[in-house]
Chain A
Amino acid sequence: MAKGECTTQWSKTEDTCSTLRNRKAFLSSEKQQQDSQPKDGDNSQTAGHSSKDGTQSSNGTSAQWTDRGTDPPRKETHSSVLLLLVTVLSFSTRLYKIMEPAHVCWDETHFGKMGSYYINRTFFFDVHPPLGKMLIGLAGYVTGYDGTFPFIKPGDKYEHHNYWGMRGFCAVLGSFLPVFAYLIVLELSQSRTAALITATLLIFDTGCITISQYILLDPILMFFIMGAVLSMVKFKQQTHRPFSAPWWLWLVLTGVNLAGALGVKFVGLFVILLVGLNTAWDLWGLLGNLHLSLVDIAKHFLARVVGLILLPLFLYVTIFAIHFVVLNKSGPGDGFFSSAFQSRLIGNNLHNASMPEYLAYGSTITVKNLRIAGGYLHSHWHLYPEGVGAKQQQVTAYLHKDYNNLWLVHRQDENNSEKASQSGAPDLVRHGDIIRLEHKETTRNLHSHLHEAPLTKKHFQVTGYGINATGDANDLWQVEVCGGRKGDLVKVLRSKVRFLHRATGCVLYSSGKTLPKWGWEQVEVTCSPYLKETPSSQWSIEDHINPKLPNISLSLLKPHFLEILLESHIVMIRGNSGLKPKDNEMNSKPWHWPINYQGLRFSGVNETEYRVYLLGNPVVWWINLASLGLYVIMVAVASVALQRGVPLDQRRRGRLHFCGLRGGGLLLLGWLLHYAPFYTMGRILYYHHYFPAMLFSSMLTGKIPEITENICDSCFISFFFYLFHPLSYGMRGPLAHEPASAMAGLRWMDSWEF
């Protein structure tokens, strides 16, 4: 059967006419296989196959198994024994020394802390979706961790705190990876040798062990990724029994795993893409099957839409719903979100607060910038220093609550708020109105003029100017509600407001840059001549005090769930793209990863400490790299040969079917999807980002007969695992660049630092 698929895969690019033909051949070949009488589909090519060869998977290597004369029942037991072996080995390598070191390692400081936040129900912000941390928190909760350990920095001792549950949970999920890989390769290649090789590679990879043993998101993410691939492969196997119970089961499981992967990290999008492409290809095949009626195809299509789009989407949204319900107390993440959002959180000063709904003249207000962690518009008695624009009072953005954040709203012509307010209810501020903002503490007006701003040289300086609120024409600002029309009211917390400077036409802007010492390291505020609507130029009215107006409860302004969902995604995406590598800081480049150029220090720096170093088993990784190259070359040569119609001998063709492209392409695509996008990412990258891709390349390695034949005894790999195991299970004593160290001979690359 592989023959048919082979041609199809590699003639995709040919004109559709021939694709159509090949496609038919493929389908018919698949049909033939259903009859459990597997013969090679393309008779003209593989007529020479013996029936014995046919019943086994049609490859050269598995012939060994055949030759040992295994009859079906014994094969079954073999299978389960092997599976059991893989499982036991996998669990034992991951759970060994799980409690060591008894201090916080590397990113445990983040994810452990976030797990604790769930237990304490305090709100926090992270750039990843919440599922991973929720599961960590749950695992901790179930195993009796009380959420009191602060996780301040790596190296802190756990002491009496109960951390085994969280580590153990991650390790258990990590232990499933080799098992899943075994099953996937077994399913794809029907060869137990190949599956066993893959499992060996993963079981004895120091990197996979290390990354599974700590409180991290990666084992959880990889569990879902592999789960999704496994369910997808199993689902594909059910092709001949559509709409049966197992068919539905695997479809739904694929969807669940996809939701899980995306719920842990946005990297899960890559596996969604993989499954999506595979499903599209599958549907394309069904569409070409002229025996199926359009109704059947529509059924197939709808089933996949439900199972792979709607269900994961629903689960993903549910995860967020749980996240927001659980975290209902004010915490360190408040500042990242809008004021309206904060009014939901118990303990935040906006919670259960009440204030007038619409902005009015004479009110005292605080104005908050809408960029993430944007500060309040702030001023203080200090002046800009000599040489920084005009020597007038500083205006900045300040992240904390302060009485210097208070401003009074005035009409452009009136000087004293008292005068107007004596005559009944104050007027409301409307879109397009021209106002003056007086700083309550210093009685200066918010002012701008054609001097360059202190840090952003293309913008204008914003100052406090005037005495007792008497200034000049440069103190006038036009209020603009984003998306509003003339006459619209300004709603507290909810409206996005821009302040346009009347005289110069610029817009009040917070650049996010920190001022030097003279500005108390607060954030620069400028007036930008570029009128683009960005969060930096949008502000919201947060506190609003006006005794003349009736207060409403802020709970009326609480955002809708979908708004919260949208806002948290915007904040996460901005946070992700904000993680820029700093200059002069060594950061990991994607090309470092497959060659195992440099690891990550998990714990310990100097000789006396307990050191753990995340580094893949170099032999495993280099074999993976080599087999990747080999695979590409083999496929290229083979497809050229096929395209030219070169007659191939029996053995070669068998080999071709094997790497063929039976799923090999799927694994290669998986590797590419999990690796290539990192080249386009501007954010800071780490070595551990490669691990999902590494799983795919290990599975691919198992499928290449040349490699499989040469190293089929796993002793080879386990020997190198034995050499490198201190990387995962911890080492003490001198560093490896000193000859006295036990690891001295193993520092094969200068860039390794264990």
Chain B
Amino acid sequence: AMLGLQLPLLVTVQINMELLLLTLLAFWTRLSQLSYPNAVVFDEVYYGQFVSLYMKRVFFIDESGPPLGHMILAVGGYVCVCLCVCVCVCVCVCVCVCSCAEYPSGVCVWSLRLLPAVCGSLCVPLVYLLILELRLTHCTALGAALLLLLENSLIVQSRFMLLESVLIFFQLLSFLCYLRFHNAPHSSWSRYCWLLLSGASCAAAVGVKYMGVFSYLLLLGVACLHTWQLIGDRAVSHVSPASPHASSVTSSHVCVQCVCRCVCLLLVPLLLYVFWFYVHLSVLYRSGPHDQLMSSAFQASLEGGLSRITQGQPLEVAFGSQVTLRSSASQPVPCWLHSHKANYPIRYDNGRGSSHQQQVTCYPFKDVNNWWIIKDPGRQELVVSTPPHPVRHGDIIQLVHGMTSRFLNSHDVAAPMSPHAQEVSGYIDFNVSMPAQNLWRVEIFNREAESEVWKTILSEVRLVHVNTSAVLKLSGVSLPDWGFRQLEVVADKLNKGHQSSLSWTVEEHRYGTSQEQKEREAELHSPTHIDVDSNISFWAKFLELQWKMLTVKQEESEHKYSSSPLEWITMETNIAYWLHPSTNAQIHLIGNPVSWGVANLSLSAYQLLALVYLLRRRRGIKDLPDDAWSQFVAVGWLCVGGWAVNFLPFFLMEKTLFLYHYLPALCFLFLLTPALLEHTHSHLCLAHRRALCVCALAAAASVFLSYRTFCPLTYGRPELSANQLQDLRWRESWDILYRRR
């Protein structure tokens, strides 16, 4: 729509009726009866859980993607709450989306699914505009928009609380804005608004799913190319307008332009990406189910959870402190240094012997046996002196187990599960000429960042055995039944570099006051109190969270409907999203077979054509005028490039993949089909133009027909009979369910 303002106040409005109509149709196909089915469909379980955590402000990690996508869905949740209040429905009912299979009220379902559906609908006009920006005709644009509009799989995917449609929306938007920028006259500054918007939507795409990175890279590549051409354009001056050839308009200096592009396409997306995390972390301030994955310092910054325990702890660890030591390794599970009244078996099953001293393990649960007392080797007392004498980097300490009073000890005896390392035990003197070797040197790993003094939660400490210079280490292996399946702790001489399994942090901490063992036991059982605050900066939290998201390994999971990338091209598999509990009504992720066929056809046709053109041009035969050629190339980078970057990376991924991962790539292919048709129409089939038009119309009609055919599986109604469902099973490999009556 174009809007022009003239004086005296005369408002002329130009409305592109095609565009308006397409938009309305898109909204109609995506938004009608959005709250049906009133049940949790497929991955909505997964996302719904995060939305409800957002509503409760509870911290979580989702390693599958950055937080923006979840936040957008959560907006739907807030809308739901507002609406609920308006219609006087109990709020709390709406919030607990995850706990019940049926959404509690139609209103909520509608609002939660609204935003993805709106994004999905807006993709249709975006495609229309994108084709126009490629300098193709309205008919072509209409064709591309129609293909998108009538694509069953896209409709299904946007009608539920899923993220693909949001991702596609931002990807298309970023390319549209970039092309707007590129096609605008060089003199105007306002075109940089488009570039800015393009950068922002790139950041949004990356923020929704990491897949967005690849289309962002494509856009950057194209932008680099255009910038390179700009640099080569000698009509544009270097910096100053004083140069004789330069135009007088200030915006056309190369340096300024390059800097502007860098800011808009590199800096702004980066900042925005960090901003999503900032919002994420500031919204989610309560502790929750995933706390355990994070470091103690991170956990302490969340409300509830660890901070409730650590609140009021003394900050500096002193001689006489009572502490629990948490291993920094979160693999296989987070755990605390532990000992208990049980000894290592004299002989292991494989015949090796042990010291038969008290077991020292790592235990993944809070327990009173996790408490250790830090003792000064030179003093007898186990209480903190006044003033407290803090432990510093390099100090020698002994560690006394709180409940059993055994000293943490290591010696040249092979550890139970990792025989290359030394056993760690609670020392018992059996009078077998095995002297106590219980001195440990404190090495604070992050002393540059923190301080030389050992601090609760903040300091990462390595405990180096003084006699053998081995380092206390969590080996990660679980002990057999005699060790109660707890994790093995060893002292390892081969300490290569910085490993999280070597470092330990003090989590719970208090200054010991009781000299007597009985008193001390009572003290250990009592909760901790005193005050301290440990805030870590946003950057530290951001970096930790980002690192954890990228490194946390997902369980290798199988799924009935998972598929491999090669199967997507031919739509070998479908995904059953929902089946009515009693009838045959069901929803499937099945694409429009005709559109997929046409899209695949045009992909191979384009590649073939491009190859022929390239070879012929190389031999000096120019089939196309220059502007037609550059248009052909532009269509190639956008459509084929967009398809490739959204598809090929999946071959390298090892996670479980589904058909819906192909949808972004498919959208770009839909752009290609009509563009190629127009190319054929205006450059190749000059003799049979009419036949071509007829073919195109016939294709459009069959796309529409097959859309109509699959509608029942797309919208879940009307219900079909078993026979009708049988007829819809166009491929043997599709899995369509029906009940026998």
Contact = CB atoms under 8 A, between A and B. Distances in A.
Interface of A: 13-17, 20, 284, 287-288, 290, 294, 458, 517, 528-530, 532, 583-584, 586, 597-598, 640, 643-645, 680, 682, 750-751, 753
A290 B499 contact: no
A584 B231 contact: no
A534 to B, nearest CB: 10
B497 A583 contact: no
Contacts of A597: 497
Contacts of A753: 494, 496
A644 B231 contact: yes
11 contacts: A15-B229, A16-B614, A20-B618, A290-B619, A294-B619, A584-B329, A598-B497, A644-B231, A751-B496, A751-B497, A753-B496
Contacts of A644: 231-232, 234, 238, 254
Contacts of A16: 614, 617
Contacts of B238: 644
Contacts of A530: 558-560, 562
Contact of B496 (A290, A294, A584, A598): A598
Interface in B278-310: none
Contacts of B232: 14, 643-644
A584 B560 contact: no
B335 to A, nearest CB: 13
* Most B Cβ at <10 Å: residue of A458, A584, A645: A584
B656 to A, nearest CB: 11
B435 interface: no
Contact of B630 (A15, A529, A584): A15
B660 to A, nearest CB: 18
Interface of B: 225, 228-229, 231-232, 234, 238, 254, 329, 331-332, 474-476, 480, 494, 496-497, 499, 501, 557-560, 562, 614-615, 617-620, 626, 630, 652, 654
A584 B618 contact: no
Contacts of B234: 644-645
Contacts of B254: 644
A643 B228 contact: yes
A530 to B, nearest CB: 5
A14 B560 contact: no
Contact of A529 (B225, B480, B560, B618): B560
A487 to B, nearest CB: 18
B632 to A, nearest CB: 11
B228 A13 contact: yes
A598 B332 CA distance: 26
A294 B616 CA distance: 11
B501 A517 contact: no
Nearest to B331: A583
Nearest to A644: B231
A314 B654 CA distance: 33
A563 B558 CA distance: 30
A29 to B, nearest CB: 19
* Most B Cβ at <10 Å: residue of A597, A644, A750: A644
A14 B228 contact: yes
A284 B614 CA distance: 10
Contacts of A528: 558
Nearest to B329: A584
Nearest to B254: A644
A584 B475 contact: yes
Given A20-B618, A643-B232, A644-B234, 9 more contacts: A16-B614, A16-B617, A20-B617, A288-B619, A530-B558, A530-B559, A583-B332, A584-B476, A751-B496
B615 to A, nearest CB: 7
B496 A586 contact: yes
Contacts of B474: 584
Given A528-B558, A750-B497, A290 B630 contact: no
A584 B501 contact: yes
A458 B476 CA distance: 25
A130 B501 CA distance: 38
Contacts of B501: 584
Nearest to A587: B496
A682 B654 contact: yes
A294 B619 CA distance: 9
Given A517-B480, A644-B238, A17 B626 contact: yes
A15 B559 CA distance: 47
A688 to B, nearest CB: 16
Contacts of B630: 15
Contacts of B480: 517
A204 to B, nearest CB: 27
Nearest to A750: B497
A330 to B, nearest CB: 29
3 nearest interchain CB pairs? A584-B476, A643-B232, A586-B496
B476 A583 contact: yes
A532 B656 CA distance: 13
Contacts of A645: 234
Nearest to A751: B497
Contact of B497 (A284, A584, A586): A586
A14 B229 CA distance: 7
A287 B618 contact: yes
Nearest to A294: B619
B642 to A, nearest CB: 19
A643 B231 contact: yes
B225 A13 contact: yes
Contacts of A682: 654
A286 to B, nearest CB: 10
A586 B497 CA distance: 9
Given A517-B480, A584-B475, A644-B234, A287 B615 contact: yes
A294 B618 CA distance: 12
Given A13-B225, A15-B630, A17-B626, A584 B619 contact: no
Nearest to B420: A605
A188 B152 CA distance: 57
Contacts of A640: 231
A753 B497 CA distance: 10
Nearest to A582: B476
A751 B626 CA distance: 58
Contacts of B652: 680
A284 B619 CA distance: 10
Nearest to A681: B652
A346 B516 CA distance: 75
B62 to A, nearest CB: 21
Nearest to B221: A13
A500 to B, nearest CB: 15
B558 A458 contact: yes
A20 B630 CA distance: 15
B199 to A, nearest CB: 22
B331 A584 contact: yes
A584 B562 CA distance: 30
B651 to A, nearest CB: 11
Contacts of A751: 496-497
Contacts of A643: 228, 231-232
Nearest to A534: B558
A16 to B, nearest CB: 6
* Most A Cβ at <10 Å: residue of B476, B497, B652: B497
A287 B619 contact: yes
Contacts of B329: 584
A15 B231 CA distance: 14
A583 B476 CA distance: 8
* Most B Cβ at <10 Å: residue of A16, A288, A458: A16
Nearest to B225: A13
B236 to A, nearest CB: 9
Contacts of A17: 626
Contacts of A517: 480
A9 to B, nearest CB: 13
Contacts of B496: 586, 598, 751, 753
Contacts of B620: 290
B306 to A, nearest CB: 24
Contacts of B229: 14-15
A645 B626 CA distance: 24
Nearest to B553: A583
